Structure 1
Amino acid sequence: MLSSRVSRLIARRAVLFGLLIGPLFGAYASGELRLNSAPQKSGQVDSILVLKKDHVMELLSRGKVVRTYKVALGRGGLEPKQREGDGRTPEGHYVIDAKYEHSAYHKALHVSYPDAEDRRRAATLGVPPGGAIMIHGLPNGRGWIGAGQHLYDWTLGCIAVTNEEIDDVWNLVPVGTSVEIRP
């Protein structure tokens, strides 16, 4: 009698395990779930690559991708930022020059836009280049949006991830990290 109870208990647990783990394995096998063996200590990421067309941000360490995030960009379209207020995300080479733990967003990392070329281009157009480009989480009080935030471009030219993702980025990316934003 005891052995049949144990057998049923083991069978139930196996079914439960399959129900819980099966979908995760299927998502992993299909590429929908990406598992990273990434560094866990702050400062081990040495560069950030943003691929605007793909709406992807990659954190790299010594040239190897250690984290990948789906992102929302500026609502002004995929063209490069030209001037203040155009709602576009810039393109070029920048650096993370500050971190803001208390901002209008969960957390934010400031990107060093505009650089000298951005200022020159804006000057030839006779417009201000703009600024305050960040990699940030969701607006304060809106964390419930979660991963749905990347379904459309909604920022004023920034790069947005979920609050959980910006916590991860915050811990891995030190001030001084290079940022490349590509079309």
Structure 2
Amino acid sequence: MKAIKLITVILLAIGLAGCGSKFKKYNGPEVTQVIVQKDERRLFLMHHNKVLKTYPVELGFAPQGHKQFEGDGKTPEGFYYIDRRNPNSKFHLSIGLSYPNPSDRAFAAANKKSPGGDIFIHGRPNGNPRDNRKDWTEGCISLKNRHMEWVYAMVNNGTPIVVTP
């Protein structure tokens, strides 16, 4: 009888351990585009013209306008694509945007400044609670960790992303 209880407890522990993983499995329709509407503070995962999921987001600490220079606190606007993933980010998972694109680089160079870079969609900071400002990143797009886990699972590298004002 004790052996059955022990096996039951072990199997239950193994089953529950799988529920806590930050790596979700997604088997639905392909995400063909990500849309971020800055004014609405919403991220949409699209399959062609159909919305699969939508999530609230937080933006750069200076959310109005297009990112032009390193340190300006703005979130880029325009057409990009997902170009990298970081499961070991200092935030709870992250996927990278292809910012800066050639026109972003050219504009910054014409002004003798750096366009910046390392713009990501990511979860909350690991180990450091963020402050309570509505928009707090350096120009990234932040989601709640549980939402980021699904975005990370659903969005592949190469997926186009449109960020609107």
> What is the TM-score with the length of structure 2 in the denominator?
0.80
Q: Is the 8 A contact 1:41 1:171 kept in 2?
A: no
The aligned amino acid for 1:132 is D
Does 1:129 find its partner at 2:115? yes
Count the aligned residue pairs: 141
Uncovered stretches (5+) of structure 1, i.e. residues with no partner: 1-39
Partner of residue 65 from structure 1, selected from 51, 62, 65: 51
Instruction: Give, in whole Å, the separation in 1 of the partners of 2:121 and 2:151.
Output: 9
Does 1:90 find its partner at 2:76? yes
In the alignment, what sits opposite 1:103?
Answer: 89
Q: RMSD across aligned C-alpha pairs, in angstroms?
A: 2.0
Q: Deviations over 1:55-91 (max 9, x none)?
A: 1110001221111111000002311101001110011
In the alignment, what sits opposite 2:147?
Answer: 165
Give the match's secondary structure for 2:53: strand
Q: Deviations over 1:39-70 (max 9, x none)?
A: x4277111100001111110001221111111
Q: Is the 8 A contact 1:42 1:171 kept in 2?
A: no
Instruction: Give, in whole Å, the separation in 2 of the partners of 1:78 and 1:90.
Output: 10
Q: Is the 8 A contact 1:106 1:137 kept in 2?
A: yes
Q: Runs in 1 of length 4+ with deviation above 4 angstroms?
A: none
> What is the TM-score with the length of structure 1 in the denominator?
0.72
In the alignment, what sits opposite 2:11?
Answer: none
Instruction: Give, in whole Å, the separation in 2 of the partners of 1:181 and 1:125.
Output: 23
Q: Is the 8 A contact 1:42 1:173 kept in 2?
A: no
In the alignment, what sits opposite 2:124?
Answer: 138
Does 1:153 find its partner at 2:135? yes
Uncovered stretches (5+) of structure 2, i.e. residues with no partner: 1-25
In the alignment, what sits opposite 1:15?
Answer: none
Q: Deviations over 1:129-158 (max 9, x none)?
A: 000000000000257x7xx97x60000000
